[in-house]
Chains A and B, each alone.
Chain A
Amino acid sequence: EVQLVESGGGLVQPGRSLKLSCAASGFTFSSFAMAWVRQAPKKGLEWVATITSGGSNTYYPDSVKGRFTISRDNAKSTLYLQMDSLRSEDTATYYCAKEGYTFGVMDAWGQGASVTVSS
């Protein structure tokens, strides 16, 4: 069974940094692209970042480009999201997702990590 467990969320002041982790199990982590998707309170879903299976290519929307960095450690089956220069609008639940079938299809999701950016 695929399991994705996020950690590292919390309350952080504007302008500060936070790093999320996602521990994966139940599948061959190194064979799949992975993504982060966020959901602001009572709002819809927003794709945040994707990394290819080997880690050589990363993709971001303009809203986080230059501030967020996705990375992975295939030896540890762990995905990361480094978030710098955080803003109040980054407040959301952040989900780790496995991409399957094809690029962009998220076929398994974690339970989410809550990030609140506030002074």
Chain B
Amino acid sequence: DIQMTQSPASLSASLGETVTIECRASEDIYNGLAWYQQKPGKSPQLLIYNANSLHTGVPSRFSGSGSGTQYSLKINSLQSEDVASYFCQQYYDYPTFGAGTKLELK
């Protein structure tokens, strides 16, 4: 199985700030990476696929980058509605998820 290591586990940031979440795969996943947002008490929602492609309807302040084993999700100009947990997921092999990053407002 491909292991996904996500960091940080939790993050506190101010409104308007830029936030970056990292994800490292245990082997090359050739951009087969997605990012999901899960708000409290809700189901996950797709943000990014193919490492850097924005899912339909997702605000442009979200962006993804990376290659090989290292990937990141960036949120520009943090909004209150971005408070959520974020998960990376590889799909180069059978799907596996990172442990998640809980984003809170400072």
Contact = CB atoms under 8 A, between A and B. Distances in A.
Interface of A: 35, 37, 44-47, 50, 59, 61, 95, 101-112
Contacts, number: 59
Contacts of A61: 1, 94
Nearest to A108: B46
A76 to B, nearest CB: 22
Interface of B: 1, 32, 34, 36, 42-46, 49-50, 53, 55, 87, 89, 91, 94-100
Nearest to B43: A109
A111 B43 contact: yes
A50 B96 CA distance: 13
A47 B90 CA distance: 11
Contacts of A50: 95
B44 A109 contact: yes
B94 A110 contact: no
**Which DSSP category, helix, strand, loop or mixed, fits chain A's interface?**
strand
A66 B55 CA distance: 34
A47 B98 contact: no
B98 A107 contact: no
Given A45-B87, A45-B89, A109 B97 contact: no
Contact of A101 (B50, B99, B100): B50
Given A109-B45, A110-B43, A44 B98 contact: yes
A107 to B, nearest CB: 5
A45 B37 CA distance: 12
